[in-house]
Structure 1
Amino acid sequence: MEGVVKGDNVSVTCKICKRNFHGSHSRVKAHFLKLKGYGVIACPKVTSEQQSEMLELLESCQQQLSNRAPRKVPLPPSSSLTGSGSSYFPLEERDSATKKRRGVSPQLTKAFKIEERQQCDAEVARMFYTSGLPFNLAKNPHYQNSYSRASQILGYVSPGYNQLRTTLLDNERHHIERMLQPIKKTWRETGVSLCSDGWTDDQRRPLINMMDACSNGAIMLKAINCEGQYKDKFEVSRLLLESINEISSDNVVQVVTDNAPVCSAAGAIVESTHPHIF
C-alpha cells in the first residue's frame, strides 16, 4: 500500500483477510503460511490450495537465487608445512613431501589445530579481498579484540546485515552521545568555536565538515555531502547557520573557516545574523 516505512519494511494489505501490517517479504510469507515467531498474525482465510501455490512460488524463487549465486571457490590449502617460497599444489601432495623433508609430526599438527587455524586465516583474508577492505583495518584494535572475544564464546555467531545497520548502530550512536554529554554541558560556560572546512572523500564527493571546539575538547558535529549543490556564499552561510542553531547561537563565540572568498562572504552573512559571533 505504501513505499518503504522503516528500513526495508513496507505497508501491506492482505487481499484475502484484508488485514494491514508493516513488514518485508518474510512477514508476508509467515502470514500466508501461518508461521509463528515473525511478529504477524496468520491469515485466517487462506486455503490449503493458496498455501500450496505460495510454497511452489517460494521454491521457484529459491531455485532462481541458487542458480544466480556466485560459485563458491574453495579456500587455499593449508601451507603450515611448507616454506614461504614453496609452490602451490594440492594439500595431500604438499603434506607428504614436506613431512618427509622436515619430519613434522602429524600429531603435533593435529594437537595445535594448525590447519584449522590457517583455514580460518584464509577465510578472514578472503573477506578483506572480496569486500575491498583496506588492509590497515587489521591494525584496528576493535578488529583484533572482536576475534579475541569471539574465540572465548562457544557457538558465537557474528551480527548480521540488519543488526549492524539498525540495533547495533543505534546503540553505538546513543552510547557516543552519552559520552559527549560532559563536554556539551560546558558549552554555555566556556563558549564554542564552530570550525568548518571542505574536502573530498575517496569517492570524490565534496564534503563540508562541521566541528565544535571548546576548552574541554572537540566534537565532530557532522559531515555534509554537497554533491550536486552550488556552494556559493548563501549555501555555505545556510549550512553554518544550521549548525549554529543546533549548538544554540548563545553558545557560539566564533566561526572558523579558511580564507576562501566564498567563506569570507558567508562569514559576513553569519555576523549580520548573529552580531555577537565573530
Structure 2
Amino acid sequence: MTLKGKVKGTRNMLGGYVGKWFYDKGIPFDAANSPYFPPMVNAIQRMGLGVKLSLAYELSRPILDEEVEEVRKWIEEYKQSWPRTGITLISDGWSNKVSKNEVLNFLAYSPKGIAFLSSKDV
C-alpha cells in the first residue's frame, strides 16, 4: 500500500469514528464547521496515544466552569469599551407554541461585538 493510500484509509477510518459520534448524539453536521472543531482535533492528535479524554463530569463541571469564567471575562472586556463607543440595545422575541411562553432576549451591540444581556419571560 502506498503512503497516499494509507493516509486515505486512515482518514476514512477517522471520519467513520467522528461520523458515528455525530450520528449517535444527534450533533448537527455543521458543528464540524465550528472554529473550535479543528483545534480540538489537533489537540487530540498532539496528545498522542494513551491520553485520557475528559469524562462527562469534567465537561459538565470544572471544564464548563472554566469556560463560563472565560466568557464572563470576555463580556467584561466588551462592557469596558461601551463608555467610549456606545452601544445599540437589541431585543429579539420568540414564542413557544406548545407552552405558550413568550421570551424577549436583550443584547448589546458595539463595535467590539454583540453580548447577551438578559432574557425575560413576558
Provide the TM-score with structure 2 as the length reference.
0.72
Distance in 2 between residues matched to 1:221 and 1:124, nearest whole Å:
35
Q: What RMSD over aligned residues (CA atoms) do the two structures have, in Å?
A: 3.1
- For residues 36-83 of structure 1, the C-alpha deviation after alignment (integer angstroms, 9 at most, x for no partner) is xxxxxxxxxxxxxxxxxxxxxxxxxxxxxxxxxxxxxxxxxxxxxxxx
Aligned 1:1-278 pairs, distance under 5 A: 105=1, 108=2, 112=6, 115-154=9-48, 155-188=50-83, 192-199=87-94, 206-214=102-110, 216-224=112-120, 226=121, 231=122
**Structure 2: gaps (5+ residues):** none
List 4+ stretches of structure 1 deviating above 6 A. Answer: none
**Structure 1: gaps (5+ residues):** 1-104, 232-278
- Letter matched to residue 146 of structure 1: M
Which is helix-richer, 1 or 2? Answer: 2
Higher relative contact order (CA closer than 8 Å, sequence separation 6+): 2
- For residues 241-274 of structure 1, the C-alpha deviation after alignment (integer angstroms, 9 at most, x for no partner) is xxxxxxxxxxxxxxxxxxxxxxxxxxxxxxxxxx
**CA shift in 2, pair 1:212/1:153, >3 Å:** same
Count of residue pairs the alignment pairs up = 118
The percentage of counterpart residues that share the same residue type is 22
Which is strand-richer, 1 or 2? Answer: 2
**CA shift in 2, pair 1:112/1:209, >3 Å:** same
Distance in 2 between residues matched to 1:117 and 1:185, nearest whole Å:
45
